[in-house]
Amino acid sequence: MTILSIIPGIGAPLVWVPVVIVLFLNGQYLTATLLLVWCAAVVGTIDNFLRPVLVGRDAKMPDLLILIGTLADCSFSVRSDSS
């Protein structure tokens, strides 16, 4: 799930939406609702608006190139840890 969270736009919801669904199914309506509101408002804002501005400003690279570099680094790290 950590790898999914770095996908721009849809990555963070791929992590927290299933958790909200499970909480609703388990009858924890208040917790599910608060998590939904928090993630949609705060996490969504940070992921979709602030991260590209902060990363792009310092890196001066297109978002797609930053994503490819991040994915390549994750792939390299996973391979080097397993050997």
Residue 51, token pair as written in the block: 């991260």
Give the model confidence (pLDDT) of 65-78 as tens digits.
Answer: 777 776 676 555 55
d(CA 5, CA 1): 7
Name the one residue in this structure whose structure tokens are 């001066």. 60
Q: Higher-confidence residue: 8 or 35?
A: 35
pLDDT score recorded for residue 53:
66
CA distance 47 to 55: 11
| Sign, CA torsion 17/23/29/30 | negative
The model's pTM is 0.55
| Amino acid letter for position 62 | P
Q: pLDDT by residue (tens digit) across 20-35?
A: 999 999 999 999 999 9
Tens-place pLDDT, residues 36-75 = 998 888 877 776 666 666 666 666 777 777 777 766 765 5
What are the backbone angles phi and psi of residue 75, rounded to the nearest 5°? -65, -45
